[in-house]
Amino acid sequence: MSLRDWRPQPPPLPDHLQAVLRPDDPEWFARELAIAAAPPWWFWRSMLRRCSWLVSIFGRVEVTGSIPEELRGGPLLLAANHIGDFDPFVVAVALHRIGVLPRIMATGGIISAPVAGPLLERTGAIRVERGTELARHAVRVTEVALVHGGHVVAYPEGRVGLSADGWPERGRTGMARMALGMGVPVIPVSQWGAHEVLQYGNDWGKLRTLARAVVRRPALRVHVGPPVRLDDLRMGRVGDANRARYRIAAAITRGLVPLRAAERDRPAFVDPTRPTTAVAAFPGGVVPDDVP
């Protein structure tokens, strides 16, 4: 067996999920369904408990906020702003500190990488094949994870945010529709600082910013806010998915304000490789009072 083909053994696929498989599904789909339906992998628990300090090599992880105890035993959608390639590691460590074992959505390219990809898949990461017809499989896997009480971290923006001022974009309606359709609480996760560890562009500059972070150790701030209010909205009613999307973006933005209080107008760290082709949902971090 080659290094590329190696992967940890997935749990068996429960009988009740066999029926959802189709002949044209990709070969990885059954594995991800089985992992989503199973309890969190013991090795993932161990890694977060014993190796979280590795993230602190590149910055000072600071966590504020919490998740109500009564919500931790059930499914959760954790909506985070996406600011760079390093932030999934920061978010995972931050959530572990407050007692949550996250399943993180990740691009298909990362999960297809040798060694690291199979390990990431086995931790419960959910593959997102952006811009392809396979993207629908991520929704199906996420639904299975939530039905089995999983805590899924997703990025409503669907990519690293590209607004000029660094505030979150309004995102897409996918998470909003899932939350409304399944009645799952949405917890906003705001973060700042991880964009300084790995630049946006995929070139040797990534190593330069990584090395600089070891020396500078920027603050890697994460705030976990209260659940987003969605109880007055419902799936299928015209406009409600869009309203939910803006409420999620508003909650993330509000939590982000104190994390970047000294950088309200624009980020202090300017990444020349990052395009600025999008507009923030709430420019300058100003959320109108009439948004719940």
113: amino acid identity, one letter: A
Mean pLDDT, residues 79-90: 95
Residue 19, pLDDT > 60, answer yes
CATH 3.40.50.150 fits 66-261, yes or no: no
**Pairing state between β 186-192 and 219-224:** antiparallel
The token pair that represents 24 in the structure block:
């044209």
The token pair that represents 278 in the structure block:
């999008």
Angstrom distance (rounded) from CA 270 to CA 273:
9
Q: How far is CA 252 from CA 44, 173, 248, 264, 285, in A?
A: 27, 15, 6, 15, 10
The DSSP H or E segment spanning 224 is strand 219-224
Q: What digits encode the pLDDT tens for the residues 227-259?
A: 999 999 999 899 999 999 999 999 999 999 999
Q: What digits encode the pLDDT tens for the residues 30-70?
A: 999 999 999 999 999 999 999 999 999 999 999 999 999 99
CA torsion 220-221-227-232 (nearest 10°) is -90
Selection from 25, 213, 206, 30 nearest residue 133 by Cα? 25
Mean pLDDT, residues 115-134: 86
Q: What pLDDT sits at residue 2?
A: 53
Angstrom distance (rounded) from CA 138 to CA 33:
10
Q: What pLDDT sits at residue 84?
A: 93
Residue 286 phi/psi, 5° resolution? -95, 110
Least confident segment among 15-19, 150-154, 226-230? 15-19
The token pair that represents 66 in the structure block:
């919490």
Confidence label for 102 from pLDDT (cuts 50, 70 and 90): very high
Asked if residues 188 and 251 have their Cβ atoms less than 8 Å apart, the reply is yes
Sequence-distant (≥ 6) Cβ neighbours of residue 80 within 8 angstroms: 87, 91, 153, 154, 155, 188, 189, 190, 191, 252
Q: What pLDDT sits at residue 109?
A: 74
Task: Name the percent of the chain lying above pLDDT 90.
Answer: 80
Residue 144, pLDDT > 90, answer yes
Mean pLDDT, residues 267-292: 94
Q: What pLDDT sits at residue 5?
A: 61
Mean pLDDT, residues 90-111: 91
Confidence label for 114 from pLDDT (cuts 50, 70 and 90): confident
The more confident residue out of 278 and 113 is 278
Q: What pLDDT sits at residue 117?
A: 85
132: amino acid identity, one letter: T
If you average pLDDT over every residue of the chain, what do you get? 92
Q: Per-domain residue ranges for the chain?
A: 66-261
How many other CB atoms are there within 10 angstroms of residue 29's CB atom? 18
The more confident residue out of 7 and 216 is 216
Angstrom distance (rounded) from CA 221 to CA 185:
23
The model's pTM: 0.94
Sequence-distant (≥ 6) Cβ neighbours of residue 154 within 8 angstroms: 77, 78, 79, 80, 105, 142, 175
Q: What pLDDT sits at residue 129?
A: 84
Angstrom distance (rounded) from CA 242 to CA 173:
6
Asked if residues 93 and 206 have their Cβ atoms less than 8 Å apart, the reply is no
Residue 133, pLDDT > 80, answer no
Q: What pLDDT sits at residue 155?
A: 94
